[in-house]
Amino acid sequence: MGKKFLDFVLSGHKKDQKTDSYTQKVHKILGDSDTPDSQQFRDLINEATARIELGTEDWDFVAARTLLAEIYQESKGNRGDFLDLINTLTNLKIYSPALLQKYTIGEIQYLAGKLNLDNDLLFTYAGLQVLSKRYITKDYDGNYLELPQERFLIIAMFLMQDEGDRRLEYVEELYWALSNLLATMATPTLANAGKDNCQLSSCFIDTVPDSLDGIYLNNWDSANVSKHGGGVGIYMGKVRGKNASIRGYKNVGGGIIPWMKGINATATGVDQLGVRAGAIVIYNDLWQWDLPEFLQVLTNNGDERLKTRDLEIGVCVPDYFMELTESDETGRLANPDALWYLFDPHDVRQTMGWSLEDCYDEQEGSGTWRTRYQQCIDHPTLRRRTIPAKEILQMLVVSEKETGMPYRFYRDEVNRQNANKHKGMIYCSNLCTEIAQNQSPSELVGSKIVDEDGEEYIYYKRRVGDYVVCNLASVNLAKAERMGVLRRVVRILVRALDNVISLNTLPLLQATSTNQKYRPIGLGTFGWHHALAVKGIDWDSEESVEYADDLYERVAFYAIEMSAELAEEKGAYKYFPGSEYHTGAYFDRKGYKTVEGGLDWDGLKARIMENGIRNGYWGAVAPNASTGLIAGSTQGIDAFYGDECIYYEEKKDFKIAVVAPDLNADTFKYYWKKGAHRVSMDYSIKQNAKRQRHIDQAVSFNIYIHKDIKAKDLLEIHRKAWRSKMKTTYYIRGTANIVEDCDYCQ
């Protein structure tokens, strides 16, 4: 039989009765061949994956090794060595010519010698399956060309191509982090880095102005972002509501739902060459005129003609509403007769002379927004819809329990914590609720016909707004902590993400402009539950809360420290002057002080105030479900999905058994009956409150519920999240509304 193949598959793992039976199966299928064909590979993998179950981890590695052998064999038949791979894919116009232009043949051969194929053996079957299906480069017919380690090295080479004399050093360092599964890049970077005209960013956020041009240009922009693999967040709180006036004619406005239906068509129509449908979330303010209809666009009640079933939705919630709907410990509203008022943003602008959405409460319990909201209520002629506040709560709960949405965006806390409030306003978040950056609409302000060389051209003049872009990568917490390399991993990821900004090929000019002004990055994490289990910390414990506080303070310090070094090396971001980093207010607000034997926050603050910081936004914790799988760890900040240490990852084209990472006699009790629906939401919120304090943007925080949860209990979870100063919440994940993970921020 294929002895070389068997030796490879089973090397490094103990043989037992079960793997011996697998050996016999291989004998039967292969006979004396050393080179299985594709169907034989499939048969072998299916045999192994059918046996992956709790306590039989050898079968997972057998399946992974078999898949790895299949990738090796197929790619070997399609190309030569690493240099030949680069030449082949460059000639096919799949790789960027920059790889051959920026690196000499000698440098490429040197780096090829750094490829560590042994690290391919670190993959679980689930991780390698996801990586091979989605990220390893193939030819136009879908045949493997890259090997997994080559994908990691190409990413490192591309992102570090302009690092001067230390370029090879940084390539090796980033490759080390990726190859050892200490970190992952987000989906667009993981898939596209090194490719021709590559788009490396995950999510985008646009602000729609209240004009026909603005609405349709937003749709055009969203189509282009979706075409290039990005997810889109859209703030529509500025658009006039139903029955608003248009050019002085009263009661003629159609509201935001018809425009949402157009965006819905874009999400399904621009499907990225059939790979996946576009993903778009619409955010609306809790006081906007069309709120009741907005909250029904995904539910099963209401007029089907007003549904937008291919969109996500989110609401922007002010502190005042949360205060107005506080309850006692029995769930009874403190003010059951409280009223809530919905206003049309166009009416407010016309009547009051300002926009309600353009302000927030600067202090807890007081501020510009609630003052102006009360002025709107008191105005004798301003059009409004009056609804009991408890009915608004009911609408939210109905939608959440049925659809898992809307996401929540706590706008006052977000803007109070904005380090760049001197340059703008944050209206909403993105598709996965972890991005919070300044926004403003891009608006068409003129056009003209120009005669050039006998041809007439129409030139449109569009004022550039802040079109938000997020550039993401994440640290494998469990592995980085266990190896004692957290600072080292954070530092190379911050450098890599900053280079993403410089090298990116973005589909929109206004996105490029915003990216250059703020140089925002989103350093995230995954493997939180894995890290707790390895350290022997129970999820439902005060120790887990204390560990979250300590761990994420270190992540913050290392990231900000590295960004400060990059500012000294390459210059600060454009809008640094006047920011809270420039004034030092960021550190004062966080309460960061140097403690003997601890992190030198005072020194870092002084350094940044004098020399600047490279990235205006630096931290964002995304869901990281798929990339957590690739790295053999747990997803994002959530508890492991399976209550019994195993669950099945099911996608359109495969179903995989996933066993809790590092499962052994010591870690078992930290996973068993501690699945995401089983652990305490109280402790999840406490942990995330500590985490959020140290993250300058936001965190993708799922709320896990049982399908029979009472409305008052779900509302209390939201209140605890808000009281804890969390900025956003993501899906409501109940057994009755299982939702697909967002792939865009993975």
Residue 150 designated active-site? no
68, part of any domain: yes
**Summary mean pLDDT of the chain:** 91
**Does the pLDDT value for residue 28 go beyond 70?**
no
Question: What pLDDT score was predicted for residue 499?
Answer: 98
Question: Is residue 133 within 8 Å of 654, Cβ to Cβ?
Answer: yes
Nearest to 434 by CA among 685, 743, 730: 730
Residue of higher predicted confidence among 6 and 481: 481
Describe the crossing of helices 3-10 and 57-76 by its angle, rounded to 10 degrees. 130
- pLDDT at position 121, please? 87
Give the tokens for residue 401. Answer: 């329990």
Q: Quick one: pLDDT band at residue 740, thresholds 50, 70, 90? A: very low
- pLDDT band, very low/low/confident/very high, at 302 (cuts 50, 70, 90): confident
Query: Could you give the C-alpha distances from 355 to 209, 291, 347, 462, in angstroms and in order?
Result: 12, 17, 9, 22
> What is the pTM for the complete model shown?
0.94
Phi then psi for 206, rounded to 5 degrees? Answer: -120, 155
| pLDDT 10s digits, 438-473 | 999 999 999 999 999 999 999 999 999 999 998 999
Domain-embedded: residue 23: yes
- Backbone φ and ψ for 635, nearest 5 degrees, come out as -75, 130
Q: Return the higher-pLDDT residue of 229 and 132.
A: 132
Let me know if residue 19 belongs to a domain: yes
Return d(Cα 690, Cα 697) in angstroms, integer: 14
Q: Is residue 586 part of a domain?
A: no
Lowest-pLDDT range of 155-159, 233-237, 275-279, 398-402: 275-279
User: Of the listed 203, 428, 432, 470, which one is catalytic?
Assistant: 432
Active site includes 192?
no
What's the average model confidence in pLDDT over 158-180? Answer: 98
Query: Is 59 within the bounds of a domain?
Result: yes
Amino acid residing at 183: A
What span, in angstroms and rounded, lies between the C-alpha atoms of 175 and 153? 5
Give the per-residue pLDDT at 284: 98
Question: Which of the four pLDDT bands, split at 50, 70 and 90, describes residue 1?
Answer: very low
The pLDDT of residue 23 is 54
Contact 539, 602 (CB under 8 A): no
Q: Is the pLDDT of residue 31 over 60?
A: no
Q: 192, 218, 430, 499: which one is catalytic?
A: 430
Q: Are 593 and 670 in contact (CB under 8 A)?
A: no
Q: Report the domain count for the chain.
A: 1
Residues 6+ apart with CB under 8 A from 118: none
Please report the pLDDT score of residue 489 as a whole number: 98
Measured N-to-C along each axis, helices 82-91 and 105-112 cross at an angle, to the nearest 10 degrees, of: 120
**CA 682 and chain centroid, separation:** 24
Per-residue confidence at 70, pLDDT binned at 50, 70, 90? Answer: confident
At residue 726, what is the residue type? M
pLDDT in tens, 670-693: 999 999 999 999 999 999 999 999
Mean pLDDT across 505-522: 95
Domain that holds residue 40: 1-75
Residue 621 sits at φ, ψ, to 5 deg, of: -100, 105
Name which of 635, 673, 658 is nearest 539 in CA terms: 673
Contact 167, 161 (CB under 8 A): yes
pLDDT attached to residue 737: 45
User: Residue 152 to residues 66, 136, 183, 267, 471: CA-CA distances in angstroms?
Assistant: 21, 9, 11, 31, 17
Would you state the pLDDT for residue 232?
A: 96
**Catalytic choice (70, 150, 434, 580):** 434
